[in-house]
A and B are shown apart, each in its own frame.
Chain A
Amino acid sequence: MNTRLLEVDGLRTHFFTKAGVVKAVDDVTFAVDRGRVLGLVGESGSGKSMTGYSILGLVDPPGRIVEGSIRLNGAELTTLGAAEWRRLRGNRIAMVFQDPMMTLNPVLRIDTQMVETVRAHHDVTRATALDRCREALVQVGIASPDERLQGYPHQFSGGMRQRVAIAIALVNKPDLLIADEPTTALDVTIQGQILHEMQRLCRESATALLWITHDLSVIAGLADDVCVMYAGRIVEAGSVDDVLDRPMHPYTRGLLDSVPSRNTPGRPLAQIRGMTPSLLHLGEACAFRERCSRVVEGCSAAPPANVSGARTLRCVNPLA
């Protein structure tokens, strides 16, 4: 079996607003293999979530995918019709969102929601479906699944709700799981538990995981590979060790340096000056040049994506 699961190639998702075209995702290329974890890191507005939504066909007007291809097991996704999408979503590709209250229907019991997910894709009896639900809940570390299945979402704590959301995403054993900041709203000890479960699940089931986050330290512990996004583009990509130990893009370097635990306590933190640009009036030039300390003349042209081995870099004046 081929190990390459997801291939995203030259993806552009643009939003056609009254104020102009917002290039939320602009020429994004990456791939995920089975059983691997890819971290997609960026700050607000970097296009990391929109990349996830694009893969799942969830871009709403005025946005649309204007260019590029997304292939799952070699099959093109960008040209699928509504019926084909319905067969795929929640079955082969699943997503977990930041806020589990958004995913769960507050007026339906957990069993109703979970059984519906199973039976939407498989012709099985309710009893069989319930067995699968129970199994999925146990998998994500929920101790008494029978009792929990009878409950409503408001009876659960935040961490427990997120586990249920993950269980629903996993119940049909998808090939690809997209997780959009799933632990950001959770407490440290609960985040640790969820990361532990996700790590184990990916190893055991060969599910590929696309983990979208703003938190580099979560990526450091969890992911195999990482893509750093800035203003709609991947500025640097490679294995976690390469990118985090030897960052070559000034933005990656700046992000790493501004993490408090890498600075001497009490001393001013290394900081990136300025703020993220508006995506509205971005030209072709490197979007980071206004904040960059290594800016040179070539920065006003579109930075080409230099690929060497597993490493991709979009910078004309990279760090050595």
Chain B
Amino acid sequence: MNDATTALLELRDVSKRFERRLDLAGRMARGLGANLRESTVYAVDGVSLSVREGEVVGLVGESGCGKSTLGRMVARILEPSAGERLWRGRPYAQYEGSESHSERLAVQMIFQDPFASLNPRLRIVDIVGEAPVVHGLVPRRERDAFVARTLERVGMDATLMRRFPHQFSGGQRSRIGIARALAVSPRFLVCDEAVAALDVSIQAQVLNLFIRLREELKLTYLFISHDLGVIRHVSDRVVVMYLGRVVESGPTAELYARPNHPYTAALIEEVPRIDARHRSYVPIRGEIPSPLAPPSGCHFHPRCPHAFERCRAEVPALREIAPGRLSACHLNDIARS
């Protein structure tokens, strides 16, 4: 890619396989001739992605499309099975050792569930203050003042820092999760469904916080969500995934106005909208296939209204269809020829 030199974060052909090995009973049964196989899920299948400094990339897709797994690989929570991750043009592996400590802390993650992602037995001051002290960013005796500043930055009353997570509402807990991530001065935040569990009025407050922090701290986001409205609002560029693969990507406004891939088009069409009254839903058919047994060729072909022979046999390549726009659909070849 020509913008590789300026990319803050880059993924090259990254894949993640999860294998379910047979247990002892299974192996014995197989030894006796039972038809049992170890099953492999390709949660993420050859995804390339680059994020420039200061950019917000929205990653959208339905359950099982691998968007969370991808986010976790970016945040170093999971190791990819194949492919390369680059930070400022250098592979992740080169950032080992103490001198690149701060570079490793530069990517932080914000989790979906503000209830499950905070330790219920720790006070807020410990939740937010632990990492910067452990990593030597803040001396222990300055911890409380530092936590107070961090909490104020996310719009929380610093006098509440001695409380436990259960004493806060969902929206406040989200802010605590954000404060915890910001405490180690990251450059890049992976937000995995960070507003999905919140009520509409609270969701707007937290989204505004993300927008304000981006400007104040010059942050870069990978914003993962199933909510196309949220993605549209916060992202500069959108990447659409389906069953482990990227099917389309492009600048937000263009992609929403003129989706190229039939799946993207269907997603955008299906979103309920306030201004669409008494509409007749014309749903896309079929279920999301199991990632354990994905369809052949283009993963979307069993549900696609335009599928033809080639879609069943051949995996469509992700190709540039316009400057900055990529799509993986065989129909584009037909349109061209």
Which residues of A come within 8 Å of B, CB atoms?
Answer: 43-44, 157-160, 187-193, 195-196, 199, 214-218, 220-222, 224, 240-241, 244, 254-256, 258-263, 265-273, 275-276
Contact = CB atoms under 8 A, between A and B. Distances in A.
Contacts of B205: 271-273
B223 to A, nearest CB: 12
Given A220-B275, A260-B232, A261-B273, A270 B204 contact: yes
A266 B56 CA distance: 10
A216 B229 contact: no
Contacts of A157: 287-288, 290
Contact of A218 (B230, B272, B285): B272
A258 B266 CA distance: 25
A192 B268 CA distance: 11
B232 A254 contact: no
A196 B281 contact: yes
B245 to A, nearest CB: 17
B201 A187 contact: no
Contacts of A254: 201
B228 A188 contact: yes
Contacts of A193: 281, 283-285
A43 B200 contact: yes
B306 interface: no
A272 B204 contact: yes
B93 to A, nearest CB: 35
Nearest to B284: A189
Contact of A190 (B274, B276, B288): B288
B281 A271 contact: no
Contact of B272 (A195, A214, A244, A272): A195
Given A221-B278, A261-B232, A276-B199, A188 B273 contact: no
Given A260-B232, A271-B205, A158 B63 contact: yes
B203 A258 contact: yes
B178 to A, nearest CB: 16
Contact of A221 (B169, B226, B276): B276
A160 B200 contact: no
For B275, B277, B303, the residue with the greatest tally of chain A CB atoms inside 10 Å of its CB is B277
Contacts of A263: 233
Contacts, number: 145
B271 interface: yes
A273 B155 CA distance: 12
B288 A187 contact: yes
Nearest to B204: A258
A158 B274 CA distance: 26
A259 B272 contact: no
- Please give me the 10 A-B residue pairs with the lowest Cβ-Cβ distance, nearest first: A258-B204, A196-B281, A260-B233, A187-B62, A192-B270, A193-B283, A43-B199, A217-B272, A271-B204, A272-B201
Nearest to A265: B233
Contacts of A267: 211
Given A263-B233, A275-B171, A258 B201 contact: yes
Nearest to B230: A260
Given A188-B62, A265-B252, A265-B253, A215 B211 contact: no
Interface in B222-240: 226-230, 232-234, 236
Contacts of A188: 62, 226, 228, 267, 270-271
Nearest to A188: B270
A200 to B, nearest CB: 9
Interface in B59-86: 62-63
Given A43-B199, A157-B288, A221 B204 contact: no
Given A159-B287, A269-B207, A270-B204, A221 B232 contact: no
A221 B275 CA distance: 8
Contacts of B204: 258, 260, 269-272
A216 B275 CA distance: 10
A294 B204 CA distance: 20
A215 B199 contact: no
